[in-house]
Amino acid sequence: MPAADAAHAYIDALLSHDASAVPLAADAHRVENGLPTGSSGADIRWQLENGPQYRVIDAIRDVTVTTDGDQADAHYLLDAGVLGVDLATTEITEHFDVRGGEIHYIEATITPVF
């Protein structure tokens, strides 16, 4: 899968909680703001589908994805809320290393928007 498509599949799964279309390598890793948050493709997939940290996502908007070969960079706004109450909007920048059609590494920078 091309890098841009892989990035879009991952972003779509954040909101849908269906990671079946996300091409994660078995050895995939994810880092958020410098902290490891995903230790394998199976772990990342489980979190996308079941993780409570993703259940508060109400919307993802203003998505842009740029690529350079097997690398993709995504930038978007993520709106979070609970029971119809808006909690926060965060600005997300994610870098995806996609080799052989599979995501091997995701690095996210998450910044609250005030």
Number of domains making up the chain: 1
Answer yes or no: is pLDDT of 114 > 80.
no
User: Which range of residues forms the domain containing residue 41?
Assistant: 3-113
Region 10-21 average pLDDT: 97
pTM of the model: 0.93
Answer yes or no: is pLDDT of 104 > 80.
yes
Answer yes or no: is pLDDT of 87 > 90.
no
The CATH number of the domain holding residue 45 is: 3.10.450.50
Q: Which of the four pLDDT bands, split at 50, 70 and 90, describes residue 29?
A: very high
Q: What percent of the chain is modeled with pLDDT above 70?
A: 100
Tell me how far apart the alpha carbons of residues 69 and 94 are, in angstroms, rounded to a whole number: 16
